[in-house]
Amino acid sequence: MVDNKVSLRYASSLMQLAMEKKNLDILSRDLERIHSDLVSHHQLLLALQNPIIKSEVKLSILKEVWKDKVSNDTISFLELIVQKGRENLLQDIAAKFIELTNKHLGIVLVEVTAAGEFTPEQDKEIKSKLKSLLNKEVKVKYKIDDSIIGGFQARVGDTVYDATIKHQLEQLRKRFLEGNTLINN
């Protein structure tokens, strides 16, 4: 909970700085990269979270990894968080920053789950449907899960648009149980 607040604070100040300097696109690209690198390289994350490793060493590792790949502003941001001893939250901060940028640019992240791969036409159709439904730019992340049997499920934040066979079967089960359910209403 506390970590959450801290990451939000760092992310939002970085965001403000980016908007002042008008380099939000560069920074957001940098942080997305940092985020994905941290996700794919678990070792790096562990190194950052390790309290035994000295902060100078951590900073040099970070610089080594991203020196030529990210902008100078990002490097100085990394320096700051290492200096403040918050490098263990780097992944969180990056995630929060991406979230904030998306919100600022009016982009919503939609997680679409399907039983199999989408064809390009389906992909296009679902994107335009979601766009018109949510009235916002959408960024779609696909997930494959064959337990849903068929159809698809789109999740935007806490709201789920469910058109899976699994859910329909569940609804049908409930329909049959009506009157015997635990809560009468």
Partner 1 sequence: MAEVRPDEISAILRRQISGFESEVDVYDVGTVLQVGDGIARVYGLQKVMASELIEFPHDVFGMVLNLEEDSIGCVIFGDYGLIKEGDLVKRTKRVASMPVGKEMLGRVINPLGLPLDGKGEINTSLSLPIERKALGVIQRQPVKEPLFTGITAVDAMIPIGRGQRELIIGDRQTGKTAVAVDAIINQKTTHTEEAAALGIKPVYCIYVAIGQKSSTVAQVVAKLQESGAMEYTTVITASASDPAPLQFIAPYSGATLGEFYRDNGMHALVIYDDLSKQAASYRELSLLLRRPPGREAYPGDVFYLHSRLLERASKLSDELGGGSLTALPIIETQQGDVSAYIPTNVISITDGQIYLESNLFNAGVRPAINVGISVSRVGGNAQIKAMRKVAGSLKLDLAQYRELEAFAKFGSDLDKATQRTLSRGARLVELLKQGQYSPVPVERQVISIFAGTNGYLDEVPVHDIKRFEKELLEYIEMKNPSIIETIKKEKQLSDETINALKKVITDFQSTFKKS
User: Is 182 one of the binding residues for partner 1 (CB under 8 A)?
Assistant: yes
Widest distance between CA atoms in the chain: 66
| Distance of closest approach, residue 83 Cβ to partner 1, in angstroms | 28
| Distance of closest approach, residue 105 Cβ to partner 1, in angstroms | 21
| Distance of closest approach, residue 175 Cβ to partner 1, in angstroms | 6
Q: Note whether 45 and 38 are within 8 A (CB).
A: yes
Q: Which of 32, 73, 111, 162 binds partner 1 (CB under 8 A)?
A: 162
| Distance of closest approach, residue 111 Cβ to partner 1, in angstroms | 12
Write the DSSP string, 59-120: HHHHHHHHTTTS-HHHHHHHHHHHHTT-GGGHHHHHHHHHHHHHHHTTEEEEEEEESSPPPH
Q: Which residues contact 19 (CB under 8 A, 6 or more apart)?
A: 104
| Residues from 113 through 152 that contact partner 1 (CB under 8 A) | none
User: Is 176 one of the binding residues for partner 1 (CB under 8 A)?
Assistant: yes
Residue whose tokens read 């190194």 = 47
| Residues from 3 through 32 that contact partner 1 (CB under 8 A) | 4
User: Is 158 one of the binding residues for partner 1 (CB under 8 A)?
Assistant: yes
- The token pair at 73 is 């502003």
> Interface with partner 1 by CB under 8 A: which residues?
1, 4, 155, 157-163, 167-168, 171-172, 175-176, 179, 181-185
